[in-house]
A and B are shown apart, each in its own frame.
Chain A
Amino acid sequence: MNVTRGFTGRPRVVNAGLPPGQYDAGDDWPVLSAEVTPDLAPADWTFRVDGLVEAPRTWDWDEAHALPGSAYEGDIHCVTSWSKFGVRFGGVSLDAFFDVVRPRPSATHVLAYSHTGYTTNLPLADLTGGRAWIAWEYGGKPLAAEHGGPARLLVPHLYFWKSAKWIAGLRLLDQDEPGFWEQNGYHARGNPWQEQRYSGD
């Protein structure tokens, strides 16, 4: 252990929900995106799921909203080391989309991409079983553009760069393909509990 002289840190928060290396951002919700926030109206938003699926499909705003609604209440964790507790997102579980397109048995990974061109990769297993959403509400209100509105991917059990803002689609693949930050040295999976921040962690 490499102790820093004179460093005591904040009073320790006893919070079992805080992954290693994270701190509680409280009411703050930092905005971290490398691109210009797009001017994307709900009427122009579409969401496509294709690749290794039986029935590729594109949903528009109304069609996506016609699927059964689903909410996430819990915590989110950013690789830049803040965590945010007790947030509430509303949207639709990805399971509802997968039920329609029917992933093929050979599908193992997903490349998520945004209307801005941002990409991020995930194992398919991280997006099924009620653990991932297309989210368009935050705290009961429409999701703000700077936080990915009108709609973003939400995968709260992984670092938040995986939860692609302005989500445009998912491509199911039989291999892992690094996305934008992953090509920049970030970890392929990004599990906050294992501190999978950077390639090699």
Chain B
Amino acid sequence: MTENLASGTRPETRFAVPGRIAVSNRAAAVWQTATLTEIRRETPHAATFRFATPAWAGHLPGQHLMLRLTAGDGYTAQRHYSIASAPDDAGHIELTLDHVDGGEVSGWFHTVARPGDEVEVRGPLSGFFAWPGDRPALLIGAGSGVVPLMSMVRHRRARGLDVPLRLLVSARGPQELIYAREYGAETTPVFTRSAPEGAPVGRLDAGHVAPLFADGPAGGWEAYVCGSNAFAEHASRLLVEAGQPVDRIRIERYG
């Protein structure tokens, strides 16, 4: 009975890890120590935490990790976080965390953590949202959803890649725009509540997306969307309406 049930009988699926992305399954199983070396404030609600991770096997831009804190009585809390740093930042990883109201883990980071503290991490995890830097990338993020996208922007910059990349990043206002000082010509910020003088205020809409398709790369974009679920739904719908194939839209949602 086995001859007709080899992998050739898998259901037709267009939704899969791109074949060009190799995912290490082994690294994900091992907890390792990460030592906090630096804290940088990004916005009133977000800060970047830099860790020394000598045992880190490396990652692709867009991947995430699992982080674990342990209390004195053995209680643990673990969360998934996107990696903000570029892979080339050898021996180090950076995470940018919002201070979530009542957040058990983010609260510790924002109110207790200081350089020298140790946490545990495992990863990198999931190649689905990864971008190795080989295909034109259209990135859309909101709030801290820009974190994995920034890893891609930094990767492209660090490697001097000339593959097209565009970033649309939505924030409530200039004060809430994470990584504001790092953006270049690849980035268009969208401000939803308040904007710098002369810039419009409003939600991400078709008008932001259309020019990227009118003037898009031959062969089209790989699209990466990251943000709250409401934002991800909105942005992915805009992409589909602009003609982006659904199987070339990758989404990371927060709650």
> Which residues of A does B touch, CB under 8 Å?
1-10, 12, 21, 23, 28, 30-38, 51-52, 80-81, 104, 106, 111, 113-114, 116-119, 146, 168-169, 171, 173-175, 177, 180-181, 183-185, 197-201
A117 touching B77 in the complex, CB below 8 Å, given contacts A34-B251, A200-B28: no
State the CA gap A173–B78 with chains docked (Å).
35
Across the interface, which residues of B come within 8 angstroms of A175, CB to CB? 2, 5
Pick the interface stretch among B39-47, B123-131, B145-153.
B123-131
Residue B222 is within 8 A (CB to CB) of chain A in the complex: no
Q: Is the CB of A180 within 8 A of B104?
A: no
Across the interface, which residues of A come within 8 angstroms of B78, CB to CB? 21, 81
Across the interface, which residues of A come within 8 angstroms of B120, CB to CB? 2
15 contacts between A and B (CB under 8 A): A1-B70, A2-B31, A2-B70, A6-B112, A7-B70, A10-B104, A30-B255, A33-B251, A35-B249, A80-B79, A116-B15, A117-B12, A146-B233, A180-B15, A200-B29
* Chain B binding surface, main DSSP class: mixed
Interface residues on B, range: 35 or more
Across the interface, which residues of A come within 8 angstroms of B250, CB to CB? 34
Pick the interface stretch among B17-25, B82-90, B198-206.
B17-25
Q: Is the CB of B249 within 8 A of A117?
A: no
A199 touching B246 in the complex, CB below 8 Å, given contacts A2-B33, A7-B112: no
State the CA gap A186–B247 with chains docked (Å).
21
**B119 contact from A4, A21, A81, A185, Cβ within 8 A:** A4
Q: Is the CB of B10 within 8 A of A183?
A: no
Q: Is the CB of A119 within 8 A of B13?
A: yes
State the CA gap A59–B79 with chains docked (Å).
39
State the CA gap A31–B128 with chains docked (Å).
17
The distance from the CB of A112 to the nearest CB of chain B, in whole angstroms, is 9
State the CA gap A28–B251 with chains docked (Å).
20
State the CA gap A4–B9 with chains docked (Å).
48
Across the interface, which residues of B come within 8 angstroms of A199, CB to CB? 25-26, 28-29
**A174 contact from B1, B17, B74, B108, Cβ within 8 A:** B1
The distance from the CB of B254 to the nearest CB of chain A, in whole angstroms, is 8
Across the interface, which residues of B come within 8 angstroms of A116, CB to CB? 15, 246
Nearest residue in B to A38 (C-beta to C-beta)? Answer: B246
Across the interface, which residues of B come within 8 angstroms of A3, CB to CB? 70-72
Across the interface, which residues of A come within 8 angstroms of B117, CB to CB? 4-6
State the CA gap A80–B232 with chains docked (Å).
18
**A36 contact from B13, B28, B104, B240, Cβ within 8 A:** B240
A185 touching B125 in the complex, CB below 8 Å, given contacts A2-B70, A8-B71, A35-B246: yes
Residue B11 is within 8 A (CB to CB) of chain A in the complex: yes
Q: Is the CB of B247 within 8 A of A117?
A: yes
Interface string of B200-235 (1 = CB under 8 A from A): 000000000000000000000000000001000100
A177 touching B10 in the complex, CB below 8 Å, given contacts A34-B128, A185-B24, A185-B28: yes
The distance from the CB of A152 to the nearest CB of chain B, in whole angstroms, is 15
A184 touching B128 in the complex, CB below 8 Å, given contacts A6-B112, A198-B122, A201-B29: yes
A81 touching B79 in the complex, CB below 8 Å, given contacts A9-B71, A33-B251, A201-B29: yes
A2 touching B118 in the complex, CB below 8 Å, given contacts A21-B76, A117-B13, A185-B23: yes
User: Which residues of B from 39 to 88 have beta carbons under 8 Å from A?
Assistant: 66, 69-72, 74-80
